[in-house]
Amino acid sequence: MSDEIKKGLVGVVSDETKVSEVMPEINSLTYRGYAVQELCAKCNFEQVAYLLLHGELPNPDELKAFEEYERTNRNISDTLKNTIKNYPNNAHPMDTTRTTVSHMGLEDPDTEDNSPESNMRKSMRLLAQISTAVAANFRIRKGQEIINPDLSLSFSENFFHMSFGKVPSPEVVKAFDVSMILYAEHSFNASTFTSRVITSSLSDMHGAVVGGIASLKGPLHGGANEAVAHMLNEVGSADKAEEFILNKIKNKELIMGFGHRVYRDGDSRVPTMTEYYYKTAEFYQNKELPKISKILENTMLREKKIKPNLDFPAGPAYQLMGFDIDFFTPIFVVSRITGWCAHIMEQLSSNKLIRPLSKYAGSPHRKIN
């Protein structure tokens, strides 16, 4: 057995997955074999959620049944609504979202049942209810009333309805739906791996998702979309963008929204999300934000040869849509719940306790004097 340390598990292949892969031959992230760009062009988020959870794209009847199940499970309990109302107002929405999923586990009739049928039901309920809970939290924090889900609306339309009381134009809804598709899954990233580690001890699905949320919160992972929006706001105007980034580079600071462990030559999701970010900016007649983004991107490429990741275009797109910055990562959760649940079920289907070794570097054996 090799005792070579692979810090951060860089380059370590720890298991197989059939959920997603970055396919070198097309240099793209694929879900169950389909390139994400094609899924964004031809499918909506519900179809992609079905694909991730079931392994195949739905036929029209399967999609109808899936949508009906998702829509009729959107309501959250009054107890959970009260819990959300009682969260401290200064708590970070990722922390409240984590607590919300923990609460859902307390209420779910299937929590202790890890059978495939039960886990599929729980995945659907989590998908249907997490957006209701995040939108409720978003409104309560602003001192507004919770808006109940509208079962006649699509997943993305309904999220806008519950957040703002209205559904924006189809272009904006499509941009949001594309972000949902692109954020849904990315193989053994930190949060998914966390969920799989928790699952591997035969713990329950809600607990595994709670762990995934805690991992996603970090600025090196999902929290980067919030950091990108803060950075763009700090830059303020395009004429200050180049100097801003050069200073950060000079000070050897980490620049959020750039770099990726898996992609060394650019995140394959970025061109699609950037296209929809620019379309959203055009819709809201905001010329400055894309200008700042382009300067930051070009300067990073010229000076550091590092390209942006998905958080770089997604953060400002969410800001343009009117979401508060600290809700960007909970929005990521609303989408990634599908990937986590697919991985939790896959882990259980061929489980082995995940328990790596460590190399001891502490004090030699000693005795208490």
Residues that bind ligand ACO (CB under 6 A): 220-222, 224, 254-261, 304, 306, 309-311
Closer of 64 and 304 to ligand ACO (Cβ): 304
Closer of 51 and 184 to ligand ACO (Cβ): 184
Minimum CB separation of residue 261 from ligand ACO in Å reads 4
Minimum CB separation of residue 173 from ligand ACO in Å reads 22
Minimum CB separation of residue 345 from ligand ACO in Å reads 22
Closer of 287 and 304 to ligand ACO (Cβ): 304
The yes-or-no answer on residue 95 being catalytic is no
Rg of the chain, C-alpha, whole Å: 21
Closer of 259 and 330 to ligand ACO (Cβ): 259
Are 115 and 98 in contact by the 8 Å Cβ rule? The answer is no
Identify the burial level of 30 via C-beta atoms within 10 angstroms of its C-beta, where 0-12 means exposed, 13-18 middle and 19 or more buried: buried
DSSP state of 29: E
Spatial separation of the C-alpha atoms in residues 162 and 166, rounded to whole Å = 8
Minimum CB separation of residue 338 from ligand ACO in Å reads 15
Minimum CB separation of residue 164 from ligand ACO in Å reads 25
Please name the residue ranges forming H helices in 26-169.
36-42, 45-54, 60-72, 78-85, 93-107, 116-141, 155-164
Are 209 and 217 in contact by the 8 Å Cβ rule? The answer is no
User: Which residue has its beta carbon closest to ligand ACO?
Assistant: 259
Minimum CB separation of residue 256 from ligand ACO in Å reads 5
Are 129 and 104 in contact by the 8 Å Cβ rule? The answer is yes
Please name the residue ranges forming H helices in the chain.
36-42, 45-54, 60-72, 78-85, 93-107, 116-141, 155-164, 170-183, 190-200, 205-216, 224-235, 241-250, 270-283, 288-304, 311-321, 328-349
The yes-or-no answer on residue 206 being catalytic is no
Among residues 186, 206, 221, 260, the one annotated as catalytic is 260
Residue that the structure tokens 């609504």 belong to: 81
Among residues 177, 204, 267, 311, the one annotated as catalytic is 311
DSSP state of 142: T
Residue type for 15, please?
D
Closer of 134 and 300 to ligand ACO (Cβ): 300
**Residue 28: CB atoms within 10 Å:** 18
DSSP state of 238: G
Are 312 and 228 in contact by the 8 Å Cβ rule? The answer is yes
Closer of 65 and 220 to ligand ACO (Cβ): 220
Catalytic residues: 260, 311
